[in-house]
């Protein structure tokens, strides 16, 4: 669930990069078109603009889905017990490295990972682990 959110964010980033590359390419083509009759360059420009429009529509759709998913996940995180919520928020929402998360929690690494694992199990709807 949390990894899916990260993957969706990366996909949105890649779409933005594709749009930027296409726009840059079209910007290079534009000066050659001025004062010229129609033809292959104009067709290429129109095709490029249509591609950008399609990519922007896809980008908006993915951003909307990402926001819905983010809100759902934030609701689930807010329902976690305080320790679990702090670990999950620091690691996945604030994207802090483990070393910083451990330091902020004021627990040792092993205990912080136990809190994390319990939170992930809860978010995935799995029963808590029992100790033997």
Q: What is the pLDDT of residues 85-102, one digit of tens each?
A: 999 999 988 989 999 999
**For residues 95, 129, 131 and 97, what is the CA-based torsion angle, rounded to 10 degrees?**
-10
- Better pLDDT: 20 or 42: 20
- Better pLDDT: 25 or 37: 25
pLDDT band at 113 (very low <50, low <70, confident <90, very high): very high
Q: State residue 127's pLDDT score.
A: 83
Q: State residue 40's pLDDT score.
A: 65
The CA-based angle 112-7-62, given to 5 degrees, is: 130
């Amino acid at each position: 669930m949390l990894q899916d959110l990260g993957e969706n964010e990366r996909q949105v980033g890649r779409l933005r990069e594709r749009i930027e590359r296409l726009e840059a390419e079209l910007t290079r083509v534009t000066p050659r078109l001025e004062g010229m009759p129609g033809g292959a360059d104009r067709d290429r420009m129109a095709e490029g603009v249509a591609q950008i429009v399609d990519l922007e529509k896809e980008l908006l759709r993915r951003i909307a889905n990402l926001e819905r998913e983010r809100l759902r996940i934030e609701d689930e995180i807010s329902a976690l017990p305080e320790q679990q919520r702090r670990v999950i928020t620091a690691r996945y929402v604030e994207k802090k490295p483990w070393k910083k998360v451990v330091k902020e929690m004021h627990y040792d690494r092993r205990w912080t990972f136990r809190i994390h694992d319990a939170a992930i199990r809860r978010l995935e709807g799995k029963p808590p682990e029992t100790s033997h």
